[in-house]
């Protein structure tokens, strides 16, 4: 009788076979909140898989907003989001702009200590926006490409600490999931360990930064958990109505190659479908790459004729909106407003520029710059030493000055494209 009762009682206890989805969802929610302080909405049914290719073409919305480079600065990024009317004053995870479509021009990573929290915030806001018929769409910047490539020259000690903290919580989540890993109880297969094959020592770098570098590699290498979740579905080029959004710029060869093809190949690389140590696709590498080009964003002497020719290859395109190059005078346009430059050096790690956003209404007929209220602008005004610091930041953006981890090693090339051994 006792044995029969014990058997019956055991039958009433849920096994891993009954709980794998719930355990996995709990572990993910636990890690999300521990890392970012954000809960993502739970769904009663599994989320549909992301499309194999990021979105490239979208129709013109009633209101379109462009925000420049953020570079790991959460408070300043929130200033820009509020300035654009995308979030309410006291709830940064709620979308307040209805059907507005907002594009963030890339370079969320590097130069600051809030990189992961920014990725989480932007993704949470994108979910909230979709529920109201709006959208928040970041695109790839050169610093996202660099980090997926293992090039951490512009990571900061604060950024490394953030990734170390993420790694600790992520390992805790893995431990929870392993309790229902496939075995005698028939649960899910063991979760993949992204830390396998990654070096534990980095000669030439101070040992105090080794764990941060290792954590960053695990998170951001092709098919790494942060790369796959937050970067793999981002477009590299996005055309919204008559506006072309790209971090650096486009040349004729890029359009001829195919904007959708570029987006697909970058996405495949980040998802690890080309191998754990595959190099970045050609069109995001080199001086004239779509995330590196400065031909139309640096100074007033643009090659306007060439820009007009490139835009003419994209049906209906009237303007190219770019980040990447700091505009010390604020958001501006040249070439008859065909080249619009929106990187204001917002981040405190990259100029501490005055928050500004670009707004396009009426299907492209009404374009204006929204700038910080004069009552608040005093804290961003550039004077004396600050101007010199911004000039240095501009040089750093162009690779003329070493900063971040580049200052922590004997030769900065020691941090370029660190590879992980195949697991």
Catalytic residues: 143
The answer to whether the beta carbons of residues 92 and 75 sit under 8 Å apart is: no
The C-alpha atoms of residue 225 and residue 27 are separated, in whole angstroms, by 14
| Separation CA 114–CA 269 (nearest Å) | 25
């Amino acid at each position: 009788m006792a044995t029969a009762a014990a058997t019956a009682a055991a039958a009433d206890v849920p096994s891993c076979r009954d709980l794998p989805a719930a355990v996995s969802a709990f572990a993910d929610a636990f890690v999300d909140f521990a890392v970012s302080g954000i809960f993502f909405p739970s769904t009663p049914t599994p989320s549909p898989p992301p499309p194999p290719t990021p979105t490239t073409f979208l129709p013109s919305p009633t209101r379109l907003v462009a925000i420049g480079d953020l570079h790991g600065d959460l408070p300043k990024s929130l200033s820009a989001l509020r300035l654009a009317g995308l979030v309410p004053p006291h709830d940064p995870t709620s979308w307040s702009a209805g059907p507005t479509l907002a594009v963030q021009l890339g370079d969320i990573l590097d130069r600051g200590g809030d990189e992961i929290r920014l990725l989480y915030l932007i993704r949470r806001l994108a979910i909230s926006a979709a529920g109201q018929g709006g959208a928040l769409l970041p695109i790839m910047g050169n610093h996202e490409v660099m980090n997926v490539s293992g090039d951490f020259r512009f990571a900061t000690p604060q950024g490394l600490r953030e990734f170390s903290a993420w790694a600790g919580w992520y390992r805790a989540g893995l431990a929870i999931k392993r309790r229902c890993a496939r075995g005698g109880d028939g649960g899910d297969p063991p979760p993949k360990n992204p830390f396998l094959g990654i070096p534990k020592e980095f000669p030439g770098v101070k040992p105090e930064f080794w764990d941060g570098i290792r954590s960053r590699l695990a998170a951001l290498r092709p098919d790494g958990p942060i790369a796959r979740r937050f970067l793999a579905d981002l477009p590299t080029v996005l055309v919204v109505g008559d506006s072309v959004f790209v971090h650096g710029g486009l040349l004729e060869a890029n359009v001829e190659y195919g904007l959708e093809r570029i987006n697909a190949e970058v996405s495949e690389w980040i998802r690890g479908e080309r191998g754990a140590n595959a190099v970045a696709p050609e069109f995001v590498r080199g001086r004239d790459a779509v995330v590196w080009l400065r031909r139309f964003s640096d100074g007033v002497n643009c090659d306007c004729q060439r820009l007009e020719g490139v835009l003419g290859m994209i049906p209906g395109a009237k303007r190219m909106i770019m980040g990447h190059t700091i505009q010390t005078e604020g958001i501006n346009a040249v070439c008859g407003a065909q080249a619009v430059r929106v990187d204001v050096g917002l981040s405190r790690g990259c100029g501490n520029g005055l928050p500004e956003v670009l707004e396009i209404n009426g299907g492209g007929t009404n374009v204006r710059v929204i700038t910080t209220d004069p009552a608040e602008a005093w804290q961003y005004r550039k004077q004396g030493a600050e101007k010199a610091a911004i000039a240095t930041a501009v040089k750093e953006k162009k690779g003329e000055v070493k900063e971040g981890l580049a200052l922590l090693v004997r030769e900065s090339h020691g941090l370029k494209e660190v590879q992980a051994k195949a697991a």
